[in-house]
Structure 1
Amino acid sequence: MKISAVLAAAALAASFLTAAHAEDQTNIKIATEGVYPPFNYVDGGKLTGFDVDIANALCDKAKLKCEIVTQEWDGMIPALVAHKFDAIVASMNITDERKKKIDFTAKYYDTPAKFMASKDAKITDVSPAALKGKTIGVQGSTTQQNFLEAKYKDSDIKTYTTVDDASADLAAGRLDLVLSDKVLLDAWLKKSSDGSCCELVGDDLRDPLFGAGKGVGVRKDDTALREKFDAALKDILADGTYEKINAKYFPFSIY
């Protein structure tokens, strides 16, 4: 009887642990950068933006209880791998290099890169040859930095913690150009007090180095969570939720 009681107690404890684990799996923490308007930023002390709305919509569809936190860009992937949070929704490009460390869902948006320059500079040609000797600002640890280092070897590439920091230096005359996401730079031009200084120049840039669009990043062993997000993404694309979020921030589709 004593052995049976012990076994029964052990089984009951195991069932409680399993239930608790299952419940924990529905409570996840998502990281975003928080300094990348209009995609993710702080407004009135609250995280908001396209990425944040998409993250909340995915969690709602997947029936997940999600907490969204901020994380500096340079430490984003290491912190995910270290289990400081469970997913990244921060406009992160899906690239082969990043896929060596983490997994991604299907893309949830895809926009081109673009150069921005002072209006007074009258720059129209943004080829590597034309920008030889020019100083170009870019956010560090990004696909745009990788692109510049691979294609613009004769330019002086200066990295920044944020794109806004680079744009501010461009407005102050300390850079010749900035390279970043087209939508992000367009938003800065329209909303920043310094935006009147500058303009987007050259053609839209699309290159394999920029990856296959922006996806939700998860740890490699978290297949179940990735599949939940992929299914939820299909749902919000099908039922109009994605379209409503897109229209809230942009007058055109970024999918």
Structure 2
Amino acid sequence: MKKSILMAIALVGAIGFQTASARPLDEIQKSGTIVIGTDGTFPPFQYFDGGKLTGFEIDLGNEIAKRMNVKVEWKPMAFDSLLAGLSQDRWDLVIASFGVTPERAKAVDFTNPHYCTGGIIVSTRPDIKSAADLNGKTVSVQTGSTYFEAVQKVPGIKQVRNLSSDNDARNALISGRANAWITDKFVALTAQAKGSQIQGSTHTLYLGNMLFDEEIATAVKKGNSPLLDKYNSVLKDILDDGTYAAISQKWFNEDVRCKGGSTSVATN
């Protein structure tokens, strides 16, 4: 998942923060609590259901914290402020479906990926399937996301609606303010299965081609190697002992771990 991290950092720097939470591993273990920033508006990965934060990444983050012998304090925040907040010491980790990109890796360190996915074209029209079909169309995406970055590389798009959340981007499609919505393929599959409603009317969602593939990982403050190494060790155990597969099956009915190899960006 998921404009320029430098812009986000500049915005956070302009606001300023007084709390400090991005700590070395030994301080986290001594305190007994790890602070994790997340988005909370991106089902089925992290979202609120009846006021409770839930989702695949929430289950995974809770399991990792459990094996680190610490409790989790989740900090839901606007997606495009999360990595900047990490750099400003607001939390220890960010688990929010962040795709690993060279630009982001200049600002934060990424753990090993915890799933692989990609950006997919979604429309209420079955004839909008490929990047070429976006010619002359209005496309909705979430601000700060890799989806926004990807659509900039697609020629001929009439307008990009850059919205604050993925839900807003979806609703722009459903309400007719956009012809297509670019989002995570698993998010799209969930939305398609549930059906999308707005103002009492149900709309069929059609899934088109993938615009790009990406690896999703947890972000750690730059240089916090002990925490990074510990996270990767615990994640490996979860992947190896069947726990990851069980969590993944619960949310997707399949194992969404990365199968190896590199990912690449494509727009056709």
Q: What code does the residue aligned with 2:250 have? A: K
**What SS does the aligned partner of 2:91 have?**
coil
The structure number with the bigger radius of gyration is: 1
Matched, 1:50 2:56: yes
Distance verdict in 2 for CA 1:131–1:29, change over 3 Å: same
The separation in 2 between residues aligned to 1:77 and 1:185, in whole angstroms, is 24
Matched, 1:203 2:209: yes
RMSD of aligned alpha carbons: 1.9
Aligned 1:106-117 pairs, distance under 5 A: 106-117=112-123
Percent sequence identity over aligned pairs: 30
Structure 2: gaps of 5 or more residues: 1-25, 258-268
The equivalent residue for 1:250 is 252
Compute the displacement of 1:78 (Å): 1.0
1:139-187: CA deviations, max 9, x gaps? 1110010010122354311111111112112111111100010110221
Answer whether contact 1:89 1:217 (CA < 8 A) is retained: yes
Compute the displacement of 1:81 (Å): 0.7
Answer whether contact 1:123 1:201 (CA < 8 A) is retained: no
One of 226, 234, 251 as aligned partner of 1:232: 234
Answer whether contact 1:59 1:66 (CA < 8 A) is retained: yes
Matched, 1:185 2:188: yes
One of 142, 151, 154 as aligned partner of 1:151: 154
Tell me the TM-score normalised to structure 1 length. 0.83
Answer whether contact 1:114 1:180 (CA < 8 A) is retained: yes
The separation in 1 between residues aligned to 2:127 and 2:161, in whole angstroms, is 19
Compute the displacement of 1:22 (Å): 6.9
Answer whether contact 2:86 2:220 (CA < 8 A) is retained: yes
* Structure with the higher fraction of residues in strand conformation: 2
One of 82, 92, 95 as aligned partner of 2:98: 92
The separation in 2 between residues aligned to 1:101 and 1:156, in whole angstroms, is 29
The separation in 1 between residues aligned to 2:128 and 2:157, in whole angstroms, is 18
The separation in 1 between residues aligned to 2:74 and 2:208, in whole angstroms, is 36
1:180-206: CA deviations, max 9, x gaps? 101102212222542842323332333
The separation in 2 between residues aligned to 1:161 and 1:147, in whole angstroms, is 17
Which runs of structure 1 show a deviation greater than 6 angstroms over 4 or more consecutive aligned residues? none
Q: What code does the residue aligned with 1:106 have? A: N
The equivalent residue for 2:165 is 162
* Structure with the higher fraction of residues in helix conformation: 1
Answer whether contact 1:136 1:175 (CA < 8 A) is retained: yes
Distance verdict in 2 for CA 1:95–1:138, change over 3 Å: same
The equivalent residue for 2:145 is 142
Compute the displacement of 1:50 (Å): 0.4
